[in-house]
Amino acid sequence: VNFLQDFVRKGRKSARELTRARILLLSNQQTEITEIVKILGISRSTTLNIRKRYLDEGLPNALFDKSRSGQPIKYTEKHVAEVIALACSSSPDGSKRWSLSLLTEELRKKEGFETIGKESVRLILKKAKLNLG
């Protein structure tokens, strides 16, 4: 209970984490589910799900979201370095500078980049803080 009270009062947390902590605090005070729903402005199922998760999996799993795997990284650091090196090289004949389209076309000719798109090239250059325009 003290941990939850400190959790709600101190530090920066997401709105979801704070709501979950408040659900558990109100539940600990024997507050009815309908009251919790009114006080916090959430759905009945949210309240029930958080309480159930607390009982089944414990406090950390009730408060925090589980990590999500997401899509695996498609291009390694070697690939990224190759994209950056190409972008920093001199532009092809007939062009003043590299464009995303030109970079993408050139990269697709290389092994390992057959499916690379303009957006992937843009994101790689953005992370490297390179600006083509």
96 and 50 share one domain: no
Q: Among the three residues 11, 39, 63, which one is the final residue of a domain in this structure?
A: 63
User: Is 71 domain-assigned?
Assistant: no
Question: In terms of domains, do 53 and 10 share one?
Answer: yes
CB contact at 8 A, 84 and 129: no
15 and 52 share a domain? yes
16: which 2 tokens? 């979801």
23 lies in a domain?
yes
22 and 56, same domain (yes or no)? yes
pTM: 0.55
DSSP codes of every residue in the chain = -HHHHHHHHSS---HHHHHHHHHHHHHHTT--HHHHHHHHT--HHHHHHHHHHHHHH-HHHHHSPPP---SPP-S-HHHHHHHHHHHHSPPPTT-SS--HHHHHHHHHTSTT-TT--HHHHHHHHHHTT----
Q: How far is CA 53 from CA 26, 32, 43, in A?
A: 15, 18, 16
pLDDT in tens, 24-57: 999 999 999 999 999 999 999 999 999 999 999 9
User: Is residue 122's pLDDT more than 80?
Assistant: yes
Claim to verify: residue 1 and residue 58 sit in the same structural domain: yes
Tell me: do 108 and 53 sit in the same domain.
Answer: no
Tally of domains in the chain = 2
How sure is the predictor about 69, in pLDDT bands with cuts at 50, 70 and 90? confident
91 and 58 in one domain?
no
In-domain check, residue 72: no
pLDDT at residue 19 is higher than 80: yes
Measured between alpha carbons, how far is 58 from 5 in angstroms, rounded to an integer?
A: 17
What's the pLDDT at 133? 59
Is residue 84 domain-shared with residue 111, that is, in the same domain? Answer: yes
Q: What is the pLDDT of residue 129?
A: 82
| 82 and 56 share one domain | no
Residues 55 and 85 in one domain: no
Tokens of 41: 């402005």
- Report which of 50, 23, 24, 53 is spatially closest to residue 39, judged by C-alpha positions: 23
Residue-number span of the structural domain to which 117 is assigned: 77-128
Q: How would residue 120 be classed by pLDDT, with cut points 50, 70 and 90?
A: very high
The answer to whether residue 132 scores a pLDDT higher than 70 is no
pLDDT in tens, 102-113: 999 999 999 888
